[in-house]
Amino acid sequence: MRSRSTIEFLGLWEQFNNPYFKLVEFDQFKNEAGSNSFVLSPQKWIESTNAIGITSKSGRYGGTFAHKDIAFEFASWVSPEFKLYIIKDYQRLKEDENNRLSLDWTVNLTLAKINYKIHTDAIKENLIPENVSTKHKGFTYASEADVLNVALFSKTAKEWREENEGLKGNIRDYATLQQLIVMANLESMNAELIRQGIPQEERLITLNKIAIIQLESLIGSSSVEKLENFKSSNLLK
């Protein structure tokens, strides 16, 4: 504990985790650290700075104990082999985490495709009469797609293109992850409403209410944020 780097590490940990840490006393120890006359025991550190990362007890069952963050740092300093194990294990855990996120992302995209198929099948089976031309079929599909666009984005695909002439792609290409999740849900719900024979105007009102409720639930969701960060990190690679 005579090392300046040790004092700086202990002080930084306390500032992160201890609102009652005494910074004035810490600065004094940090300035004196490294000199030949400087001596600092765990007990003196605790009493002077009100530190909580280290505890020290006297007596038969006493001893000095540290929070695992500090214990890992001390062990890494004592043993280069231990430090290497920590680095390797950290890398392994991050790789496992990324693999799980990648799986979640793949599952989400697959579900979106499945819901899209459910939606188009419902339109084909319930809204498009037999012997209708391909052109008129396209009109029906586009109309129902815009029901979802208006329910979620409050505008049709055409209105979005007119407002964003300089952008390539379509309205859904610029949606947030939260909006894409809700869109997948709306496709499935609209398919069921179509099968129930509910008119388009009524479906639009219902879907809009559902979209608002689901977006409010998803905003700030830690799971969605992880997927968003994973998507962003992959786009940067």
Average pLDDT, the chain: 83
Could you tell me where the DSSP H helices lie in 154-236?
157-163, 177-195, 200-218, 222-236
pLDDT (0 to 100) of residue 100: 62
d(CA 179, CA 73): 43
d(CA 169, CA 42): 63
The answer, yes or no, to whether residue 59 has pLDDT greater than 90, is no
Domain ranges of the chain: 4-78, 94-236
pLDDT (0 to 100) of residue 74: 86
pLDDT (0 to 100) of residue 180: 83
The answer, yes or no, to whether residue 160 has pLDDT greater than 70, is yes
pLDDT (0 to 100) of residue 235: 43
d(CA 79, CA 101): 33
pLDDT (0 to 100) of residue 9: 92
Q: What is the CA radius of gyration of the chain?
A: 30
Query: Average pLDDT, stretch 86-110?
Result: 68
Query: Average pLDDT, stretch 224-230?
Result: 55
Angle between the 80-126 and 134-153 helix axes, to the nearest 10 degrees? 130
d(CA 1, CA 7): 7
* Side chain identity at residue 179, one-letter code: Q
Cα 11 to Cα 6, 28, 45, distances in angstroms: 8, 11, 10
pLDDT (0 to 100) of residue 224: 54
Query: Average pLDDT, stretch 1-14?
Result: 90
d(CA 225, CA 223): 5
The answer, yes or no, to whether residue 36 has pLDDT greater than 60, is yes
pLDDT (0 to 100) of residue 237: 45
